[in-house]
Structure 1
Amino acid sequence: MGHFITFEGPEGSGKTTVISKVHEQLAKTYDTMATREPGGIAISESIRKILLAEGNDMDPRTEALLFAAARRQHLIEKVLPALETGRVVLCDRFVDSSIAYQGFARGIGTEEVMNINRFAIEDHMPDLTIYLKLDPAVGLHRIESNKRDHNRLDTEKISFHKDVVLGYNELSENYPNRIKIVDADQSPEKVTRDVMKIINQYLEQGVDHS
């Protein structure tokens, strides 16, 4: 069985950049695949467009269900087959995102969101999660500075993004053996070095997933 490594963090935390750099480095030694949520396959990419399109205001539970649906198809169609062949899978977001965004920031409740996702993923949790921790105001400023295309979540009030970070902080406290914190308020090169150190230690020694 391979290794399932997920990357989490608020908007503008640099996940896409870091995953690209980490993938490039790991691929020198391991059979590595990078993917993302929501997305990664045709069905999930179609759901992504609905979820992130500006103007698509929707009920929070509808949002949570759509994320879970995209996650399920992506997991079954792409992630699990890769893991079964022994690959290292790097995934931009997974269940922790739903708990932070819908459970905490939308106020649905962590257990309610987790129940939806238990049905979607069964018992397939990440082996290791990298949490790119960043002040939400810094992340939103980065998005503006980099002229990245806005999505529906970018336009939420700052209070929403602060709640997302509070959700991630609580998750990292509850699952310290799985979720490893990296300071994302550094250069991409320094963040990548910190992430690679954690991943290499995990791949060489393994971790306690409890």
Structure 2
Amino acid sequence: MSARGVFLSFEGADGAGKTTQLRRLAARLRAQGREVVETREPGGAPGAEEIRRLVLEGDPARWSAVTELLLFNAARRDHVERTIAPALARGAVVLCDRFADSSRVYQGVVRGAGAELADSLHALAIGIEPDLTLILDIAPRTGLTRGLARGTAEERFERFGLAFQARVRAAFRDLAAANPARCRLIDAEGDEEAVAARVWAAAAPLFEARA
């Protein structure tokens, strides 16, 4: 690996299996002898985890789209400063469950804050992108059913409903098409092993290039 580490994000609608596939990839990379940092958004650092509760819990109408966007960027800044940047600086692999693309899709496109505002805030406050983004693509009804079945308090976005999840899926597909050099669309239907094989097929060239 090069001196700088590798930064990979997992994206997709709620219930697409991002966390499961991130953990599987982390285990595979650790078996190869790599240092791997597993992290998530919102969260991944103490201050960011406090903001996580504000944006993922409570009534769906709790925040406007622009307020949400600002909160997510505040959490992301703390996350990058305290977790992601130090890990990359020491040459680790960072696997992140969601990153800026979620803000572009959820707040920028689907909630209506505007893609331009999402991009401008990211450029101003964050300034880094993953080396590779894996977008797990799943039928909205399947993802929503999975998300609600978790039974946690973090269901604010699931409670926007099925039509919302369908718009999220469409926006992620558009994002993948617009960023082919960075983004890979992964079919997330089927069993975990089959999806993991698709994830590795997409990710392996990145790690082979940095071996």
CA deviation profile, 1:71-130 (whole Å, cap 9, x unmatched): 0110011100000111110000111100110111101111111111111212x1110000
Alpha-carbon distance in 2 for matches of 1:164, 1:155: 13
2:79 to 74, 81, 102: 74
Equivalent runs, 1:1-210 vs 2, <5 Å:
1-29=4-32, 30-55=34-59, 57-122=62-127, 124-205=128-209
Alpha-carbon distance in 2 for matches of 1:150, 1:70: 16
CA deviation profile, 1:153-201 (whole Å, cap 9, x unmatched): 1100222211111211111011111101110111111111111122122
Report SS of the residue matched to 1:125: coil
Alpha-carbon distance in 2 for matches of 1:115, 1:146: 34
CA deviation profile, 1:21-42 (whole Å, cap 9, x unmatched): 1111111121111100000111
How far did 1:147 drift? 4.0
Given that 2:147 and 2:155 are in contact with CA atoms closer than 8 Å, whether structure 1 keeps it comes out as: no
Q: Which runs of 5 or more structure 2 residues have no equivalent in the other structure?
A: none
Alpha-carbon distance in 2 for matches of 1:125, 1:17: 22
With 15-24 and 42-51 compared, the bigger mean Cα shift is at 15-24
Alpha-carbon distance in 2 for matches of 1:142, 1:148: 12
How far did 1:55 drift? 2.4
Given that 1:105 and 1:161 are in contact with CA atoms closer than 8 Å, whether structure 2 keeps it comes out as: no
Q: Which amino acid aligns with 1:164?
A: V
Report SS of the residue matched to 1:8: strand
Q: Which amino acid aligns with 1:100?
A: V
Alpha-carbon distance in 2 for matches of 1:51, 1:98: 12
Report SS of the residue matched to 1:138: helix
Alpha-carbon distance in 1 for matches of 2:156, 2:75: 17
Q: Which runs of 5 or more structure 1 residues have no equivalent in the other structure?
A: none
RMSD of aligned Cα (Å):
1.4
How far did 1:61 drift? 0.6
How far did 1:150 drift? 4.5
Report SS of the residue matched to 2:37: strand
Report SS of the residue matched to 2:145: helix
How far did 1:149 drift? 4.7
